[in-house]
Structure 1
Amino acid sequence: MRTSIATVCLSGPLPEKLAAAAAAGFDAVEVFEPDLLSCALTPAEVRRRAADLGLAVSLFQPFRDPDHVDPAEVARVHHRLHRKCEVARELGTDLLLVCSSVHPGAVRDDDRLAAQLHDLGAVAAEHGVRLAYEALAWGSHVDDYRHSLRIARAADHPAVGVCLDSFHVLSRGDDTGGLADVRPGELFFLQLSDAPRMSMDVLPWSRHHRCFPGQGAFDLEGFLADVLAAGYTGPLSLEVFNDVFRQSDPRGTAVDAMRSLRQLADRVAARPGCAPAPSEALAVSAVALPVLPVAPAPASWAFAEVATSPQHAGDVTTLLGQLGLRRTGSHRSGPVELWSAGGVRVVVNTRTPDVRARISSLGVETADPASLGARARQLLAPVVTRAVGPGEVDIPSLAAPDATWVQFCRTDGGADDSWLADFVPDALADGAAPENGAVPEDGDATGSAGELTHVDHVALPQRFGEFDTAALFFQSVLDLLPSEVTVVPGPQGLVRSRALRSRTAGIRLVLNVVPSATLLAGRATGAGHVAFACSDVFAAAAAFTARGGRVLAIPGNYYDDLEARFQLDPDLLRRLRSAHVLYDRDADGEFLHFYTAALSRELFVEVVQRVGGYDGYGAADAAVRLAAQQA
């Protein structure tokens, strides 16, 4: 598989874009004409700069409005094409992207259009250049790929073929059934991009909201599989117009781009009908797609780590004690404690000064940490080098885009590979009460019904510009399935949210972007928390308050609305109101949950009970929760 990226995907001057693409491992670049026009380097110098970096130029683009009803304009098009073909050759490519016309004078007769395209092919052939004709979704006459195939075929010139762009196909809701009739050699080039589902005109959707594969909602796996099956053998190239990407560090954006391509190729290669090929690749038609290292899917959250300063550690451990957790171990080589209850494990790390409380690391339960770590490295995940002391386990660790560590570990392994070996069992593990958050003398006042069972989900705050990057990172590295992006109104503006979950739902993750007005020291506030599951939310709330915990107070108007929406049993509604428990339901089940008072502007705790097959997160309650926290 050869990879390419359009320079329009990246920010900065053209030399910086080339360097970023090369550093991320791309084989080639599409040179976007505005990038070249604003560059001090000549086309030949750009070619040499790219070659020095190990890059080829796969395509020069775009050549716009190639046809016209006015013969004088046609002559000017021919003159322009001569010049642009010369530039393409100086850049070192023999391929020029030609977009279908969008102007009022566009030819609307297919035979006349094909004849003009034939003449353009003859002009290009004089320079040894080929023309990849692309149907823009907003083209005046040619706006779908089937039409562009017919026109290119009718042009009947070997220098004329087709460029397929996933956005222009999938944004229209087209299928790829028309590719079944493609003749060998007709597909000159392929451009890939994803996009969220949006109800808007296709032109601004394309110009501002495209994203890398896996960050949107298009079925790019099916699209790419069909294109390769049709006989395409060229590079997989990304062309993404995105306002955030154009303002971001081009090096990080290029890494995201390569990560998205590797994930896409791996998933396409795994589709039925792909046969094994040498060199750990799978053959689809004439293209060998690289396969990522095989690793067992992550099973669940092994632990959540909270970073806190020594002076604020008591606030964290008090809350944990009030929730029923007990200190069960101390780390062998640092000021780190393990707190546990049932299947819930929280690591409290007091190494970080000037931090009240925030999630700093997530332990991922897997049967094979090393294989999952190797897969993550192939996806360009930044590796964290950890000091490993005597008797400690070497845990493969990565850094997410927001600097949260992701650690692959085993809990129930032998003494040599369980992450619990890093902790010396604490005397309190035998059932004595912790120093902070004392448990009543009779133990858990509610019995086992109020006990926490496991980590249900974790929510991480993200900066606006890192939202899609983080989604792609966790989706690819942990093989999570993303939901649609939701927007919730908060007291200080809109909150963007996206949930991701493993195929077995053992791992659930929510990424949140809060309004810029609520930023604190460069990190989003009010968006980060950990949610613990229980079998009886009312018993858990009663046990929590009996231990001195403070539940987030919910306004009475919320419960009046619950009655209006769901016609709840009066006794259930009374219990919800009394315990400040929130409620949601859908066709599959119910969701009951309450929140603790916040430990900091970056961390609080949620306790949840899922009934039946409810698979959401109570999104309808988010606005009420945000307002209550603000109050």
Structure 2
Amino acid sequence: MRTSIATVCLSGTLEEKIHACAEAGFDGIEIFEQDLLVSPRSPEQIRMLADELGLSLDLYQPFRDFEGVTEDLLEANLYRAEAKFKLMNLLGIGTVLLCTNVATATIDDDELAAAQLQRLADLAARYSVRIAYEALAWGKYVNDFEHAWRIADLVDRPNFGTCLDSFHILSRNWDPSGIEKIPAEKIFFVQLADAPRMSMDVLSWSRHHRVFPGEGDFALAQFMGHLVRAGYNGPVSLEIFNDIFRQTDEKRTAVDAMRSLIWLEEQTHLHLQDTEGPGFSYPMELATLPKVDDPTGFNFTEVKAEHTGAVQELLYQLGFGYAGRHRTKPVQLWTQGQARVVINEQQARNLEPSIAALGFDVENPVVAASRAVQLKAQPVPRQSQADEEVLQAVSAPDSTEVFLCEASADGTAAWTREFTPESGAPEHAAGDPTAELITRVDHVNLSQPWQHYDEAVLFYESTLSLARQPSTEVPSPLGLVRSQVMRTEDRGIRLALNVAPMALEHPTAASSYPAHVAFACTDLIAVARRALARGLDFLPVPANYYADLQARFRLDEQLLDTLQRYNLLYDRDEDGEFLHFYTATVGNVFFEVVERRGGYDGYGAPNTPVRLAAQYERSRREQD
């Protein structure tokens, strides 16, 4: 599959965008007219730069508001078009994108439109230019791709065809199967965009909320399937209008864009394999990635900090036992059941406690790492001694290190042999092996920078096959927090990605949205009693919460009293019950303990505003 991207997707100057696209591995680019107009480089210099970097210039766009006009306006439009065709010859671009008329059309007549477009095509032919006619979803008279194709068919010129844009088709819920009725040689260009489903006018939706494939809700693999079956074999290009992408580093955005096309190429192949059978054959060749099974569980979580005493105390209070110190590194291991927490002090000068790494159990770590690297993930360099486990790791968009660990049938991890108890163990080192109430990691919640949230969703979806669940928004004292849960089908991995409000200049913002690890247990009340006896500082829950809880659920008075005494939270649905509590925050991390009863599958979402408000209040007091 030949890849391309419109320069409008990226921030920076045209030159910076071209370099970023080349470094990300694209085959070609579309030149967005505004990017060229503000560039100090001549068209010839832009063409030379692209040649030097191995990029083809696939499309010049957009040319707007041509057809369905009066004769006087048509003459002016032809004059304008000829100037663009001359410019395209200087750039070495052979195809121009012509959008259906939005602003100046006054005559709703397909025959007239086709006749006027014939004159444009004949003029373009003198400059060896092809015209790709695209139906804008908000076009005045032509706003669907099949209507645009009927007009293109009436034009009947070899250099006049159509451009298909997934956003304009899928945003209006047009049936994309009609693509297969268009002759492949008349599909001159294809542009892709994903988007979240939203209730708003389509123009605003298009101009501000497009995202890369895999980051929205459109069925793009099925869309691509229709293109492949139609016989299309030209560039597959990204055209993304997104306010955030235009503000972030162009190199990083280009990598995210390329990852989305690599992922979509694989998804299209799998879709066609399901619908056509394994022996399907079409002109467009679709590459695949190394196949890996879903991760089966969390192997470990890692907290990094310069001073780790507070984290050690929290783990001790929750019943974790000290399993030893690494024999060559300033790293500790704490365990309870199948839950492992690594405390890392290396290269942590001035670093407050924070989640630095997550380990995932996978069937074949080397293959899983190879897949991640092919999806543009950056490998994490790691020094190992000759007798130490070689662990595969890549960096997530928020810089969390993702370790791909070999799953073992008995739940052990080979790397733990590198940790040995020592005489200089921490003060709170003794666990309670007779009462391992915590069994495993239930879920991890990571706070994401607002500008890289969509990138993070695609990263975990493509590299680890975590499926997106419907996103939710919960109120906090500083605004709405958007939460996106990613998980495996069997719920062995549950990863929540949270985007905090853009209030980073607020003095309490950083400490009000820390990340956390949630541990599953068999008896939450017993864990709370033990933790209280060991001095745990629970996150306080206001009395108003318990009054409302009783009004909603009519709990047994003894249970309600117990919940309030230990600052425990409660939720219930038709499938079961959920009990949980939070520790105080240390640096940028805190812990949660949860007990799922019956088939409860959620995360206590109604309780999240209580937690956010309590964390904000505590942080505010500490600032005073």
TM-score (norm 2): 0.93
Cα distance, 1:541 vs. partner?
A: 1.9
Q: CA deviation at 1:523?
A: 6.1
Match for residue 339 of structure 2 among 344, 358, 375: 344
Instruction: Between 244-253 and 404-413, report the one with greater CA deviation.
Output: 404-413
- How far off is 1:330 after superposition? 1.7
User: Counterpart in 2 of 1:287?
Assistant: 284
Letter in 2 for 1:473: F
Match of 1:358 in 2: 354
Shift of 1:570: 4.5
Q: Deviations over 1:487-534 (max 9, x none)?
A: 221112222222111232211111222234356799675231111011
CA 1:181–1:439 in 2, change beyond 3 Å: closer, same or farther? closer
Is 1:393 the counterpart of 2:379? The answer is: no
Matches within 5 A, 1:613-624: 613-624=599-610
Partner of 1:328: 323
Q: Is residue 372 of structure 2 the alignment partner of residue 376 of structure 1?
A: yes
**Equivalent-residue separation in structure 2 for 1:54 and 1:112 (angstroms):** 42
Q: 1:302 aligns with which of 292, 296, 299?
A: 299
Distance 2:78 2:595 in 1: 69
Is it true that 1:265 corresponds to 2:265 in the alignment? yes
1:174 partner letter: W
Map 1:156-555 to 2 at 5 A.
156-271=156-271, 272-273=274-275, 285-309=282-306, 312-351=307-346, 352-410=348-406, 412=408, 418-424=414-420, 435-436=427-428, 447=435, 451-518=437-504, 525-555=512-542
Q: Match of 2:358, SS?
A: strand
For structure 1, which segment, 260-269 or 118-127, has the greater mean C-alpha deviation from structure 2 after superposition?
118-127
| In the alignment, structure 1 residue 603 sits paired with structure 2 residue 595 | no
Going from structure 1 to structure 2, the CA distance change for 1:454 and 1:183 (only over 3 Å counts) comes to same
Partner SS for 1:289: coil
| CA distance in structure 2 between the partners assigned to 1:115 and 1:16 by the alignment | 41
- Contact 1:100 1:135 (8 Å CA) reproduced: yes
Deviation for aligned residue 1:552: 1.3
What residue identity is the alignment partner of 1:469? E
One-letter identity of the residue aligned with 2:374: Q
Specify the SS of the correspondent of 1:558: helix
The separation in 1 between residues aligned to 2:509 and 2:572, in whole angstroms, is 36
Change (3 A) 1:568 1:178: farther
**For 2:551 and 2:111, how far apart are their aligned partners in 1?**
64
In structure 2, the residue matched to 1:627 is: 613
Given that residues 192 and 238 in structure 1 are in contact (C-alpha distance below 8 angstroms), is that contact kept between their aligned partners in structure 2? yes
In the TM superposition, what is the alpha-carbon distance from 1:99 to its structure 2 partner? 0.4
Letter in 1 for 2:403: Q
Cα displacement (A) at 1:397: 1.2
Taking structure 1 as reference, are residues 457 and 557 closer, same or farther at Cα in structure 2, changes over 3 Å only? Answer: same
> Is the partner of 2:295 in helix, strand or coil?
coil
Query: Please, what is the CA RMSD of the aligned residues?
Result: 2.4
1:589 shift after superposition: 3.5
Alignment of 1:74-153 (within 5 A): 74-153=74-153
* Distance 1:196-1:585 versus aligned 2 partners, 3 A rule: farther
Q: Distance in 1 between matches of 2:164 and 2:510?
A: 40
Could you report, residue by residue, the CA deviation over 1:67-123 in whole angstroms, capped at 9, with x for unpaired residues? 133110011111111111222222222111010111153431222222222222222
Asked if 2 retains the 8 angstrom alpha-carbon contact of 1:97 and 1:163, the reply is yes
C-alpha separation between the residues in 2 aligned to 1:546 and 1:170? Answer: 58
Compared with structure 1, are the counterparts of its residues 100 and 512 closer, same or farther at alpha carbon in structure 2 (3 Å cutoff)?
Answer: same
Cα distance 1:585–1:146, how it changes in 2: closer, same or farther (>3 A)? farther
* Superposition deviation, residue 138 in structure 1: 0.9
Shift of 1:217: 1.4
Larger CA deviation: 108-117 vs 95-104? 108-117
Amino acid at match of 1:286: P
Contact 1:439 1:547 in 2 (8 A): no
Deviation at 1:612, TM superposition (A): 3.5
Deviates more, 1:419-428 or 1:5-14: 419-428
CA distance in 1, matches of 2:577, 2:155: 61
- 3-state DSSP class of the match of 1:361? strand
Change (3 A) 1:416 1:564: closer
Q: Which runs of 5+ in 2 are unaligned?
A: 618-624
Q: Give secondary structure in 1 for the equivalent of 2:325.
A: strand
Identify which range, 572-581 or 24-33, moves more after superposition.
572-581
SS at match of 1:545: helix
CA distance in 1, matches of 2:431, 2:391: 34
* Residue pairs, 1:24-63, within 5 angstroms: 24-63=24-63
Cα distance in 2 between the residues matched to 1:115 and 1:564: 71
Q: Matches of 1:372 and 1:260 in 2, distance apart?
A: 18
The one-letter amino acid paired with 2:596 is R
Structure 1 portions without partners, runs of 5+: 278-282
* Alignment deviations for residues 102-147 of structure 1 (CA, whole Å, 9 cap, x no partner): 1153431222222222222222222111111111111111111121
| Identical columns (%) | 46
Amino acid corresponding to residue 345 of structure 1 in structure 2: R
Whole-Å Cα distance in 2 between the matches of residues 335 and 404 of structure 1? 19
Shift of 1:14: 0.6
| 8 A Cα contact 1:229 1:284, kept in partner | no
2:125 match: secondary structure: helix
User: TM-score if structure 1 supplies the norm length?
Assistant: 0.92
Taking the aligned partners of 1:237 and 1:284, their CA distance within structure 2 comes to 22
* CA distance in 2 between partners of 1:525 and 1:104 (Å): 51
Who is 2:621 aligned against? none
Contact 2:357/2:402 (8 A) holds in 1: yes
Q: Distance in 1 between matches of 2:203 and 2:511?
A: 32
CA pair 54-524 structure 1, distance change in 2 beyond 3 A: farther
CA contact (8 A) 1:326 1:341 kept: yes
Q: Check conservation: 1:307, 1:359, Cα contact below 8 A.
A: yes
My pick for the range that moved more, 371-380 or 283-292, is: 283-292
Paired residues of 2:19 and 2:53 also in contact (CA < 8 A)? yes
* Secondary structure at 2:120 match in 1: helix
Deviations 1:360-419 (A, max 9, x none): 111111121100011111011011110001321111111112221111112538999822
Q: Alpha carbons of 1:189 and 1:407: their partners in 2 closer, same or farther (altered >3 Å)?
A: same
Count, aligned residues: 613
Q: 1:326 to 1:434 in 2, by over 3 A?
A: farther
Bigger drift between 396-405 and 538-547 goes to 538-547
Show the counterpart of 1:280: none
